[in-house]
Amino acid sequence: MSDIILETKGLTKHYGGVHALEDADFQLKRGEHIAIMGDNGAGKSTFVRQITGVEQRTRGDVIFDGVPVNFAGPLDAREAGIETVFQTLALADDLNVPDNLFLGREKTKFDWLGPFRLLDYKSMREDTMAGLVKTGVKIPNIKNTIANMSGGQRQCVAIARTATFASKLTIMDEPTAALGVQETAQVENIVRTLKDQGESLILVSHNMRQVFDLVDRIIVFRRGRIVANLNVEDTDGNDVVSYITGAKTGAEYEGAA
Amino acid sequence: MSDQSDGTGGLTFDKSKKNWPNELNVFGALILIIIIFEVLGAIYMQQSLLFDTRDRFDSIFNEARLRIIIIQVAIIGIIAIGVTQVIITAGIDLSSGSVVGATAMIAMSFAQVAEVNGGPNPKAIFGEWALDLPVLVPLVVGLAVGLVAGAVNGILVAFARIPPFIATLGMMLFARGVAQWWSLGNPVSFPTEGYAKIGAGMMPVIIFLSLALLFHLIMNYTVYGKHTYAIGSNEAAARMSGINVPRHLLLVYMIAGMLAGLAAVILTSKNLTAQSGMGLSYELEAIAMAVIGGVSLFGGRGSIIGTVIGALIIGVITSGFTFLRLGAFYQEMVLGCIIVGAVALDQYQQKRGAARA
């Protein structure tokens, strides 16, 4: 078993004439938490979309868990073990917590009934509770519909999916962008819990304090290219900002920007 | 198994955020409407709407009126069960009334007797081969016609991405045309004895309530039901979660069409004749039942039980106005107000829900 969970080689995405992502070489070790930073339009989200199969790359390779992969869509990526917490929450407001966690992959009984096969509510509820305990997510009443929950609780439900389905890699795209202080702290606690459990994580974030608090390594994107790969111990906020704004360019990336 | 999770985070259980089943509100509205009619009845008619006030009988309820109330909504209620599912997906089905008309004509053509009063059937549509057929044939034909109409709706909505309002509006006109073209406007009459039994007496009510129970279970305990709610609630999320949304929508519209077909069979069996104008504006009454029953036109919310109570509300109002000897026009005015009121209430609740979140 390889030590590296995700690797990209020369990952490139062009939207017509716009070079949104150019030759991204990237490695993520098993159990490692890394942050992707960069200005708006620097290529962070484009990079994530290529990995999760939301879009098809122009060229380059993605190697996940030692195998070259070519995801046709986000579902393929999820099947393979990449769980994404989207910026826009992919939750159905009128369903409750277990229904949302298991949406599209319900546990069922009497499968010969086809679309009318019965839902195994009990089993799904138990798995949900286990997943919530594992991530430290506190939801007062899991039978409540998502519509009755705060933004933080919704985000927690989205994150709890990863724990419930034992994914190999979790990607979070700005998980706390819309949250208040207390809710942000709650989400950050969950991220720490994931770290303790050896989950690999890619965190896309603009929040410098959060990034330094939570991750091992910071990757900086600028104008579609990776311009820095920094260990959190060896760097500081000013350093990262210099890379984001282009005031400084990493030695091995000289001439790239 | 407790509903309380044992995580960290310090959030406390808030009882005010507990879900209050909307069906109870609708049921409360039904009770309120009955009380209003009882009071008006006591003042103006010196009679009770639902309770037995005659000395000759010792039953509690006025059973004859209860029976009328439910029979008059049973057939449209069957359509409303399908329409409810379509509306929960955030769609709409305007075609069900016309599909009833077309299905009535076509199914009845396979249910005719050979001999009427010693002579040949004067209304026979086909040759002898289609006369005196076993009852299963027109039943299957009826369900199949409804199913095909529903499938066309579903394909237009799910695969051609035509808005449900337009797709089913087209089907509404088309199916009504088919109903009129089928026998060039002539009624199709004289069904076999077996066929006449399908919708005789309390059969429509029995079928309506059985189907309501069946679909209540399906909507709440099967993958089909869960996906129907999920699509209406957030279609993008449903698609991202791996639900085959077009295929599921097709299935929902097919079920709605088939229920309209079944309603047509029951209706023609009950009336012993089929006419091209049958089912006129049934689609609107079915939608009204669902909306009054708390089914949200924005999708994701509502239930079969709600629709059944909505159907009963319409039945009570219709009977109530007859009981008070008020003209049918008043009844339509009141129904119009109730429908708008139900949607306004739904809007208000949705806003309040959003404000709490």
Interface of A with B in 179-218 (CB under 8 A): 186, 189
Q: What is the three-class DSSP state of A227?
A: strand
Q: CB-CB: which of B5, B229, B353 is closest to A147? A: B353
Looking at the complex, does the CB of residue A140 fall below 8 Å from at least one CB of chain B?
Answer: yes
State the Cα–Cα distance between residues B74 and A41, nearest whole angstrom: 59
Residue among B11, B230, B251 minimizing CB distance to A95: B230
Which of A116, A132, A156 to mutate to probe the B interface, most B CBs <10 Å? A116
Helix pair angle (A151-164, A181-196), 10° resolution: 10
Pairwise pLDDT comparison (A252 vs B320), residue with the higher score:
B320
CB-nearest to A140 from B12, B224, B353 is B12
Q: Could you read off the pLDDT of B320-352 as tens digits, one per residue?
A: 888 888 887 888 888 899 889 888 887 887 777
Report how far residue B9's alpha carbon sits from residue B85's, in angstroms, rounded to the nearest whole number.
38
Please check whether residue B356 touches A, CB under 8 A: yes
Distance of residue B182 Cα from the nearest chain A Cα, in angstroms: 35
Is residue B139 helix, strand or coil?
A: helix
Q: Where do we find the tokens 């979140």? A: B357
Please choose, from the candidates B261, B342, B287, B346, the residue with its C-alpha nearest in 3D space to the C-alpha of residue B91. B287
CB contact under 8 A, A129 and B226: no
Measured between alpha carbons, how far is residue B86 from residues B248, B297, B339 in Å? 11, 10, 18
Q: Name residue, tokens 């999320």.
A: B237
Q: Does B176 touch chain A (CB under 8 A)?
A: no
Here the tokens at position A64 are 């996940």
Give CA angle at B209 (B292, A106), nearest 5°.
80
Q: How far, in Å, are A5, A41, B324 from residue B260 at the CA level?
A: 54, 52, 32
Question: For residues B195 and B111, is the Cβ–Cβ distance under 8 A?
Answer: yes
Among B3, B223, B300, the residue with its CB nearest the CB of A108 is B223
Query: In this complex, is the C-beta atom of A116 within 8 Å of any C-beta atom belonging to chain B?
Result: yes
The answer to whether residues B269 and B191 touch, using CB atoms and an 8 Å cutoff, is: yes
Contacts of B91 (CB under 8 A, 6+ apart): B157, B164, B249, B252, B253, B299
Class of domain A4-89+150-253: alpha beta
The model's pTM is 0.86
B355 — pLDDT class (breaks 50, 70, 90) = low
A153 touches chain B (CB under 8 A): yes
More confidently predicted of B324 and B13? B324
Residue that is written with structure tokens 């490139």 in the block: A12
Give chain A positions within 8 Å (CB) of B242. Answer: 75, 78, 104-105
Select from A92, A122, A156 the Cβ nearest to the Cβ of B233: A92
A5, containing H or E segment: strand A4-15
Q: Do A133 and B7 touch (CB under 8 A)?
A: yes
- What value does the mean pLDDT of chain A take? 84
Q: What is the pLDDT of residue B273?
A: 93
β-pairing, A169-173 vs A200-204, is parallel
What digits encode the pLDDT tens for the residues B58-69?
677 788 888 889
Are A90 and B17 within 8 A, CB to CB? no
pLDDT at A116 over 80: yes
Q: Note whether B223 contacts A119, CB cutoff 8 Å.
A: yes
Q: How many other CB atoms are there within 10 angstroms of residue A212's CB atom? A: 15
Asked if A107 and A115 count as a contact pair (C-beta separation under 8 A), the reply is no
CA atoms within a 13 Å half-sphere pointing along the CA-CB vector of B89? 30
Mean pLDDT of A148-171: 79
* Residue reference for tokens 């509690």: B60
Q: How far is B227 from chain A (nearest CA, A)?
A: 8
The single-letter DSSP state of residue A103 is T
ipTM of the complex as predicted: 0.79
Chain A segment 17-76 residues within 8 A of B by beta carbon are 74-75
Contact A95 B226 (CB under 8 A): yes
Q: Is the dihedral of CA B84, B89, B93, B99 positive or negative?
A: negative
Nearest by CB to residue A137, choosing from B7, B226, B240, is: B7
A232 within 8 A of A66, measured Cβ to Cβ: no
Confidence band, pLDDT 50/70/90 cuts, at residue B53: low
The answer to whether the CB atoms of B18 and A141 lie below 8 A apart is yes
- Is A92 close to B301, i.e. CB distance below 8 A? no
pLDDT in tens, B114-144: 888 888 888 888 888 888 899 999 999 999 9
Q: Domains of chain B: which residue ranges? A: 81-280+296-301
Test the A interface: residue of B1, B222, B245 with most A CBs within 10 Å: B222
Q: Residue A109 to residues A117, A118, A120, A126, B222: CA-CA distances in angstroms?
A: 6, 5, 6, 16, 9
**CA distances for B225 relative to A119, A126, B101, B218, angstroms:** 10, 21, 29, 6
Q: Give the phi and the psi of residue B333 in degrees, each rounded to 5.
A: -60, -45
**pLDDT at position B141, please?**
96
Neighbouring CB atoms inside 10 A of A200's CB total 24
Strand, coil or helix: A113: helix
Tokens representing A81 are 């073990």
Q: How far apart are CA B135 and CA B112, in angstroms?
A: 10
Residues in A closer than 8 angstroms to B232, CB to CB, are: 94
Within a 10 A sphere around the Cβ of A15, how many other Cβ atoms? 11
Among B9, B222, B234, select the one facing A119 at the smallest CB separation.
Answer: B222
Contact between A44 and A7 (Cβ < 8 Å): no
Distance of CA B94 to the CA centre of its chain: 12
Distance (Å) from the alpha carbon of A176 to chain B's nearest alpha carbon: 15
At B2 the pLDDT is: 40
Q: Which amino acid is located at B10 in the chain?
A: G
Strand-strand pairing, A225-231 and A67-68: unpaired
Residue A189 above 60 pLDDT?
yes
Query: What is the pLDDT averaged over residues A120-144?
Result: 83
